[in-house]
Structure 1
Amino acid sequence: MKIALVENFGSDFYGARMRYALFLQEKGHEVIAIVPNDGFAKRIQEEGIKTIALNVDIRKRNLSSMKIFAGELRKIFKREQFDIIHLYRMQPNLIGTPIAYFSSKDAKIINHITGLGVAFTKNTPKYNLIKFCIKLLYKVNSNFFKASLIFQNDEDKKELGNDKKFFVVKGSAVNEDRFVPHLEINDNLKTELRETVGIKDGITFIFVSRLLKQKGLSYLIQAINSINKSNETVKINLIIAGWLDPNNPDSFSQTEIDIFSKLERIFFLGKRTDINELIAFADIAVLPTFYREGTPRFLLEAMASAKPIITTDMPGCNHLVKNTKNGILVKPESTDELIKAIKILTGKNLKNAGSESLKIYEEEFSETVVYNHLLNIYKIH
């Protein structure tokens, strides 16, 4: 089969789709990555995947960018005549599907929905209208343009109608060469964290995400600060490997981050490329998001690294914790529940809880499970 994998960002393709593309190629399929020219197209090409770079930044979300994006896709789809056109994320899905349908008539079209986002967590007239439009457009994609829709959790599937052409593939797996149990941490990182950053003895939590308010970071910081100010014998460190997103209205400001940074045992590291070693250094992974996630990659990376997790009872997150064996689910936007969860989990055998995380990852979210499931969808639909 000749397969197009179309991503919103070259960086996301490189981080989240590369190993899947290589898997397909190893199975004998011709794979072409179609990504914006954001600096990663060359790196994808160097890994052995044929790449077509689009000269447009669709993150700008303006009409001009969308028209250029649509025009470039039309030329590519007509020229290449793919068997499978697999589109990731909202803009490629909604713009690319009708173009694929008219430009590459014999292609099977896949809309991969990696999370429903902010519109499905806010109940205001503006976001209710956006939600209605998104549902309508995906319905058109499915019914008229014959696209199959892939979700990362069952609740997102139900939200959009639970049609027979809707599938659930849990997450996108993680790089299992990088995220492994008991990873040896290099001495330079240990020195940086202990001496330069100043992480002290205690139990260390890690949070990895864009610094959006809906990721629950302020509630987490309040919870940990409260515990550390109390007379608890165990002190908590929080590593935050996160980055500001100035184009997102939900992003924290640098001023707000500077205020958080002054609190005891709260450590902001910025955007990092050594997340696997940071997770290995930490004891527990935490993401108290109330954003409508698909399945958070960071939590899967932590589970593959045999770490227990704390997250919220939200679609996309609540299927990662099984009977509190590998972690704890908390109510969204609740500092009190986070405090309670932190105290409970830090009192457990963290090694055993981490082993349960790894077992769940291997059985439900691994590369073998996810990649073969996607390939089966290609073959039967």
Structure 2
Amino acid sequence: MSQPLSSNLPSSALQGRKLVFVVTEDWFFASHFLPMARAARELGLDVAVVTRVRSHRDIIEATGARVIPLQAERRSLNPMAAGYAAGQLASILKAEKADLVHCIALRSILIGGFAAAMAGISERVYALTGLGFLGARMDMIGRLAQRAVRLLVRGLETAKTRYLFENTDDPKLLGLDPADPRVTIVGGAGIDPKALHPEPLPAQPPLKVAVVARMLWSKGIDLAVEAVQAARAQGAAIELSLYGAPDPSNPKAIPEATLRTWSAEPGITWHGATRNIAAVWRDHHVACLPSRGGEGLPRTLLEAAACGRAIVTSDVPGCRTLVRDNIEGRIVPPDDAASLTEVLVLLAGRPDLVARMGDAARARVLDGFTERDVMDAVKRLYSAVLAP
């Protein structure tokens, strides 16, 4: 998945040099980026993670990284608040004598980029993990917002800045060619194929479909509900399970009352958040994520694929990076419940196809989307940035 980066810099030359990750939330780092911290430690780097600390400090520190609290509101649009956070972060970077700053996601890129400039650090990695609700908007406001993001991020670029993406669509939003040597593409967060592995499929009928995601409108949860209701109305034996919690700090959060109303419908159950991903896919046949856009490369799809489950998702960046139509699963147009219904009805009557797609999904993950694949790509990236 990564672009080739050649560097003759030996790991011993990096021993003790300091890498500082900047990320808004400790849970986000713990969920997606621990392999990158481990990769840096393999290179001998001294690693610190600057973030808002909630309840994941121990998980992060288990990689050998240090955790430094940052007081910053994740969703605040107040320029003064952002400026205060950048100033606070610049002081941390100076005190740490950081050699490299790795900023994860848009807000951290903006605050971390300003902070690195104030601290005089030109070696930076900007990791854009999707555009969230900005990427899901295709109207004039969305296009203007994306243009503003491009100007802001590229304005924080130095000669030593490198970019990290999870799909080949997002670089273009910043005016970058995916083949640019400054760009590295990785297979999302990466998956440990030993921790998540295929189990025998449950008996059919019914076809058991699961959505594992934050309960956001942008994830298309309502489309999955509508499609399953329509499929059942046509006589298809399908059940839908929703796993995930609303994110109260996200403007696209689905109200809990709405989730409970859906869960009262026949064949639909909202289970709330889960930490036992393996158990979810052991009990289901198909992973569904009818996203409206803004994805990097959804970890939920990687997890389902690692467990050998067929995937039904939408034709948006990130989702189509992993899933090829009629191979690992089915790709449907975004915001199209009718097409999603048609696909689910088809799969409900084709257990052989569901099994074949699940086998292909597992093979797909093993070909460039594992944690080791991501770690090796990141190690090449860090070595290149820190080379004289």
Letter in 1 for 2:217: K
Q: 2:142 aligns with which of 109, 127, 136?
A: 127
2:243 is aligned with 1:227: no
Letter in 2 for 1:151: F
SS at match of 2:319: coil
Letter in 2 for 1:130: A
1:245 Cα shift? 2.3
Structure 1 residues 193-246: Cα deviation after superposition (integer angstroms, max 9, x where no partner)? xxxxxxx961211101111112111121111112222233xx111110121123
1:140 Cα shift? 1.0
2:26 is aligned with 1:10: yes
SS at match of 1:243: coil
Distance 1:224 1:218 in 2: 10
SS at match of 1:248: coil
Q: 2:151 aligns with which of 117, 121, 136?
A: 136
Distance 1:315 1:207 in 2: 18
1:262 aligned residue: 264
2:150 is aligned with 1:169: no
Change (3 A) 1:294 1:366: same
Per chain length, whose mean CA-contact separation is higher, i.e. which structure has more relative contact order (CA < 8 Å, sep 6+)?
2
2:380 is aligned with 1:366: no
1:314 aligned residue: 316
2:57 aligned residue: 41
Note if contact 1:326-1:354 (Cα within 8 Å) is conserved in structure 2: yes
Note if contact 1:4-1:84 (Cα within 8 Å) is conserved in structure 2: yes
Change (3 A) 1:350 1:175: same
2:67 is aligned with 1:51: yes
Note if contact 1:58-1:65 (Cα within 8 Å) is conserved in structure 2: no
Structure 1 residues 267-307: Cα deviation after superposition (integer angstroms, max 9, x where no partner)? 10111111232122211101000122111110011111111
1:196 aligned residue: none
Structure 1 residues 290-339: Cα deviation after superposition (integer angstroms, max 9, x where no partner)? 12211111001111111110001111111212351210000111111111
SS at match of 2:187: coil
Distance 1:131 1:317 in 2: 19
Gaps of 5+ in 2: 1-13
Distance 1:3 1:180 in 2: 33
SS at match of 1:51: strand
Structure 1 residues 55-76: Cα deviation after superposition (integer angstroms, max 9, x where no partner)? 3333334334323321221111
Q: 2:133 aligns with which of 102, 118, 122?
A: 118
Letter in 1 for 2:61: Q
TM-score normalised by the chain length of structure 2: 0.87
Distance 1:349 1:121 in 2: 30
1:99 Cα shift? 1.8
2:6 aligned residue: none
Note if contact 1:183-1:277 (Cα within 8 Å) is conserved in structure 2: no
Q: Which moved more, 1:203-212 or 1:44-53?
A: 44-53
Distance 2:48 2:162 in 1: 20
Note if contact 1:97-1:145 (Cα within 8 Å) is conserved in structure 2: no
Q: 2:198 aligns with which of 169, 175, 181?
A: 181
1:177 Cα shift? 4.6
Seq. identity, %: 25
Structure 1 residues 142-190: Cα deviation after superposition (integer angstroms, max 9, x where no partner)? 3x47421211111111222125323322312134453222299xxxxx9
Letter in 2 for 1:160: L
Change (3 A) 1:76 1:175: farther
Letter in 1 for 2:191: V
TM-score normalised by the chain length of structure 1: 0.88
Distance 1:218 1:18 in 2: 31
Runs of 4+ in 1 over 4 A off after TM superposition: none
Structure 1 residues 68-88: Cα deviation after superposition (integer angstroms, max 9, x where no partner)? 321221111112222221110
1:159 aligned residue: 173
Note if contact 1:157-1:168 (Cα within 8 Å) is conserved in structure 2: no
Q: Which moved more, 1:320-329 or 1:63-72?
A: 63-72
